[in-house]
Amino acid sequence: MATKKPVARKPAQTKGPRSKGARSMSGAALVGMLVFFAALWLLWDTPFVAPLKLFVVFLHEISHGIMAMATGGRIDRIVIEANEGGACYCGGGSAFLTLSAGYLGSLAWGLAFLWLARFESRARWTMAVVGVATGAVTLLFMRSAFGFAFGLGFAAILVLVARKLPAIWNARILFALGLTSALYAILDIKSDIIDRPGLESDAHMLADLTGVPTVVWGVLWIGLAGGVVSLVIRRAFARN
């Protein structure tokens, strides 16, 4: 998160043409983002958005697992259910960091997808990597029948998109995944932690571990999430 002595005037310098692969999104793309955001908000509780939300649950749970392994632990199993419930059962590692990684991890994945969607020429490769990684995680760690079917099915769709659709559509779908993940993470923090502080959530377990109230963790995470989302979107849509 972030915070003249007179100088001689230099001749104005013109910028060369922007690289197609690394160009920044324009105002038209910003309008597109706002339209998609509005549609996502209106359709949030409908079956149309459910697969995207389940994928965010997948990202949430694997974020717990990655942090557990990064701090010396292991993933025992992951479960995801049709009602958007999920759990990652881990052993060892830092309990504090592992519990913190769920909401913030799915937010980070979403922001990464938003950022990568800018690079249209690489979008098909990015989509293929995401699809293969989703399938690999499912095969290695998913232990619920619904989660296993969903993980493999969603992975297959992502790989098919990478193979069959042009780069611009891969970039748009990456963008949709990123925006859904970022929005879901923020709404999930509000719903699970601030609106229902007694719910058995990551923040509730973190409160038991640290003695810091659940709502405090929710407010901290919402503040961090909002600040980072704002920064990334401003950077992503800034003109070169």
* Strand blocks (E) in the chain: 74-80, 86-91
pLDDT at 39 (0 to 100) = 81
Question: For position 230, what pLDDT does the model report?
Answer: 76
Determine the residue type at 223.
G
- The CA distance from 134 to 161, in Å, is 14
The predicted pLDDT at position 187 comes to 75
Q: Would you state the pLDDT for residue 27?
A: 61
Dist CA 12 CA 236 (whole Å): 25
Exposure string of 15-38, with b = 16+ CB inside 10 Å and e = fewer, is eeeeeeeeeebeeebeeebeeeee
> What gap in Å lies between CA 226 and CA 234, rounded to an integer?
12
- Judge whether residue 20 has pLDDT over 90: no
* Residue predicted with more confidence, 10 or 191: 191
Report which DSSP code applies to 200.
-
What is the pLDDT averaged over residues 95-124?
90
The residues that bridge with 62 in the sheet, in sequence order, are none
DSSP codes of every residue in 212-233: --HHHHHHHHHHHHHHHHHHHH
pLDDT exceeds cutoff 80 at 57: yes
State the Cα–Cα distance between residues 224 and 210, nearest whole angstrom.
19
Of residues 85 and 22, more confidence is placed in 85
For the segment 12-36, the average pLDDT, to the nearest whole number, is 55
pLDDT digits (tens, 9 = 90+) for 186-232: 777 777 666 776 677 787 888 888 888 888 888 888 888 778 777 77
Task: Please state, in angstroms and rounded to a whole number, the distance separating the CA atoms of residues 236 and 240.
Answer: 10
pTM here is 0.79
As given in the structure block, the two tokens for residue 65 are 């697992």
pLDDT > 70: what percent of the chain? 80
Please answer whether residues 225 and 107 qualify as being in contact, where contact means their C-beta atoms are separated by less than 8 angstroms: yes
Work out the mean pLDDT of the chain and round it to a whole number.
82
CA separation for the pair 152, 70 (Å, rounded): 25
Q: What's the pLDDT at 236?
A: 64
CA distances to 83, 98, 141, 142, 215 from 146, in Å: 10, 24, 13, 9, 32
Residue 12 pLDDT more than 50? no
Indicate the SS3 state at residue 90.
Answer: strand
Q: Predicted confidence band at 76 (pLDDT cuts at 50, 70, 90)?
A: very high
**β partners of residue 78:** 88, 142
Q: Is 50 exceeded by the pLDDT of residue 4?
A: no
Classify 34 in phi/psi space as left (phi over 0), alpha (psi -120 to 50) or beta.
alpha
At 7, the pLDDT band (50, 70, 90 cuts) reads very low
**126, pLDDT greater than 80:** yes
